[in-house]
Amino acid sequence: MAQRRSGAGVRLAWAVAAAMAAGAIVAAGAVQPADAGLDRDAERWVKTTLARMSLDEQIGQMLVPSFESTFIASDSDAFDRLVRLVHEDHVGGFHVFGGSRPTPGVLLNGGYSSVTLGDPYEAASILNRLQAIAPIPLLNTADFEAGVGFRLEGATVFPRNMAFGAAGDEQLAFEAGRVTAVEGRAVGVQVDFAPVVDVNDNPRNPVINTRSFGEDPAAVARLGAAYVRGLQAGGMLATLKHFPGHGNTDVDSHLGLPIIREPRAELDQVELAPFRAGIAAGADAVMIAHIEMPALDPAPETPATLSRPIVTGLLRGELGFDGLVYTDSMSMDAVAKMLPPGEAAVRAVEAGNDVVLHSPDDDAALAAIKAAVARGEITPARIAASAERILRAKARLGLYRTKTVNLESIATIVGGREHRAMAEEVSRRSLTLIKDDRHQVPLRVGRDAHILYLSVLDYPSGWGIAAPSRTFTKELRDRWPDMTAVELSDRTSRNELDLVRAMAPRFDAVVASVFVRTASYSGRMDLAPPVAQLLRDLAPVTEASGAPYVAVLFGNPYVATFLPELPAVLLTYDYYDLPERSAVRVLAGEAAIEGHLPIALPGLFPLGQGLMRPKSGPLSGGGRTSG
């Protein structure tokens, strides 16, 4: 009988197995440097494949439709649709989303969320089945901006980019990219639509915000370049987005067409600087934004996606980029409400894009591009150039040799403790204490203190992936068992707010977690005024009682500018379980606070603000303690 292994031995065996499996995946799809050329076999595959392709097949390579990574039976209408896209439209790859569920289309109380996470095994299974029937290997993409767990359940979730900006460590960005690449390749995705290198220099940006590393172009450039190198080290293609810079907008391009009116000189110094650094770092792809920039193309109502001066003139010509150029999703309202799918696809190709991503109608896109070639509006050589560029990317990844993944290895590669520990380190080091007027952070109360916890939401609908405070309340109660938790939002009545106002003086400490999202399609990024006023009112109440009062901001950090009366404010730049756990740890003194603002908070604090706090040890008994 074999001897039972110790816990450490089992963990070591799993680590070795995971490393071997990960190595096998990367070896099968290792990224050759873009400027190094292909080896003899890869070059031969590209040339012979391109030579035998019809015009329809070449155009098809330029289309990337999508699917959701929840279970799809091979014998189903949903899978038949994907098969038809491979066989009849000859698509070049698929974009992998998470999941969704149907919701009732009702008014007044329609707060149901349709968004769910996908499953790593289902994503890999669907992609393997599609690769098996594809005459040309598929080049698959995903928005793994915050790790594979950003879209797939159980995979590693990293904090949003702004947290990396607050931590300020390029090595953390590199490791996040590497881990994301290893896990992404394990499920069959080869292109990550990351890093976001937009410079968030507009506090009212409703769609970029914490997706940006910050507002300092040099810092964004350094961290973005490090993330590019990390993705490549893990065997995945990196994509800079959203060119030529989406940070200084106040309109969500999912809902409308933003316009950036800055002069060219300012665009060069701010928006374009991180793209130059990312290209110099060897980025493999660039995604074009649905934004209008008159300084770069004066044609009215012309998003960068459809602009030849921006895509071909600026990106290809001036910046010398010769990698893949993807449109942003062509289903977004900024384009979809302006043009029918076929015309939009033609204009994107004429502008110089290699890939038309997530068209509302791939059949119409293919037919319209083919018709434009027949009319002489697009040359066959132009189509062949993009098809060849796509094939070369596939060859660099080794997909002509190995195009499927090993489903059994997913559990040893995706979401393990070592990867999770890296994400936790980023989260902890990013937390930024911008204010502590009463010197009460960490909380100076004993374990038996009576804590009032306020979970303050922008609005209660749309929390489909994780309910806010589900981790914070548990972690807080583990440390302070006598804890009363209350949820507030724009649905909270004035009587209920008055009740909280009246009960607050009875507690030994008040902790408020403030959750304000900048979510695509929402168009919202603020607290309801009565709720914000309650938070302000609690400042003098707690000062009079001597109770510590700390606000922890999740998501939009600029909310702090509307709450200057709060005595202590901790920023996380993120949502959900990971930052909630990290925040409670630093409030309890179990971890140091080290982050610095990667943005300025207008009228409040400058770029770089951050109060340091050392780790202070475990909690003791007793109620409120003196300062």
Residues with a known catalytic role: 254, 328
Q: Do residues 442 and 615 lie in contact, with contact meaning Cβ atoms separated by under 8 Å? A: no
Closest CA to 152 of 415, 405, 420: 415
Is the link from the previous residue into 442 a cis peptide, with omega within 30 of 0? Answer: yes
Q: Nearest 5°: CA angle at 354, between 351 and 359?
A: 85
Question: Which residues are CB-contacts of 421 (< 8 A; sequence separation ≥ 6)?
Answer: none
Closest CA to 345 of 333, 332, 334, 361: 361
Using CB atoms within 10 Å of the CB of residue 414, give its burial: 0 to 12 exposed, 13 to 18 middle, 19+ buried. buried
Using CB atoms within 10 Å of the CB of residue 114, give its burial: 0 to 12 exposed, 13 to 18 middle, 19+ buried. exposed
Give rounded-to-5 percent helix, strand, coil for the chain: 40, 15, 45
What six digits make up the tokens of 436? 């502590």
Q: What backbone torsions phi and psi does residue 326 show, to the nearest 5 degrees?
A: -105, 140
Closest CA to 65 of 363, 371, 387, 324: 363
What six digits make up the tokens of 601? 């908070």
Report which DSSP code applies to 558.
Answer: G
Question: Which residues are CB-contacts of 56 (< 8 A; sequence separation ≥ 6)?
Answer: 90, 366, 370
What six digits make up the tokens of 230? 């990390």
Question: Which residues are CB-contacts of 301 (< 8 A; sequence separation ≥ 6)?
Answer: 257, 292, 338
617: left (phi over 0), alpha (psi -120 to 50) or beta: left
- Give 397-461 as a 3 state SS string: CCCCCCCCCCHHHHHHHCCCHHHHHHHHHHHHHHCEEEEECCCCCCCCECCCCCEEEEEEECCCC
Q: Cα separation of 68 and 82, whole Å?
A: 11
Q: Do residues 164 and 110 lie in contact, with contact meaning Cβ atoms separated by under 8 Å? A: no
Sign of the alpha-carbon dihedral angle for 184, 427, 542, 601:
negative
What six digits make up the tokens of 178? 């590497």
Closest CA to 513 of 562, 470, 462, 463: 470
Q: Cα separation of 249 and 597, whole Å?
A: 21
What six digits make up the tokens of 583? 């925040």
